[in-house]
Amino acid sequence: MRILGLDYGTKTMGVAVSDPFGWTAQGLEIIRRQEDDHIKPTLARICELCSEYKVEKIVLGLPKNMNNSIGERGEKTLLFKGKLEARLKLPVITWDERLSTVAAENVLLEADVSRKNRKKVIDKLAATIILQNYLDSIR
């Protein structure tokens, strides 16, 4: 069973997918959009990926505040979750993504990746971390 991991940002979405056994997460791509609310092409691409990889479940990173409350970005993520569920008819699980981007940044810094190159991959790596954390929790 493959699971898709998503890191939903303002203008980008990091995408990761699990291996067929659900043990490891691999980064796939970054979906870019011109505006925060222009998500039809994003939904279409996610549909393509779900079909290509035979995805049975989606893990969507939910940005929470450090006090565990849900702010504006979290509310937009929950709206996106509803649109994903309606379009794909797949279960979408939200996963606390606090500090996932910080963890991704630290991994890239330790690997001595330049600032320019970090910007190109950080969302994909954050999606990978979100999905891997979920996979580790269900084992």
- Residues 71-118: tens digit of each pLDDT: 898 999 999 999 999 999 999 999 988 766 666 666 666 766 666 666
Q: How confident is the model at residue 120 (pLDDT cuts 50, 70, 90)?
A: low
**Angstrom distance (rounded) from CA 77 to CA 125:** 18
The predicted model gives 27-48 an average pLDDT of: 90
Residue with tokens 């990091």: 14
- Residues 22-36: tens digit of each pLDDT: 999 999 999 998 876
**Angstrom distance (rounded) from CA 49 to CA 69:** 31
Domains and CATH numbers, the chain: 2-67+80-138 (3.30.420.140)
Burial 2-32 (b: 16+ CB within 10 A, else e): bbbbbbbbeebbbbbbbeeebeebebbebbe
Bridge partners of residue 30, in order along the sequence? 14
Of 33 and 55, which is predicted with more confidence? Answer: 55
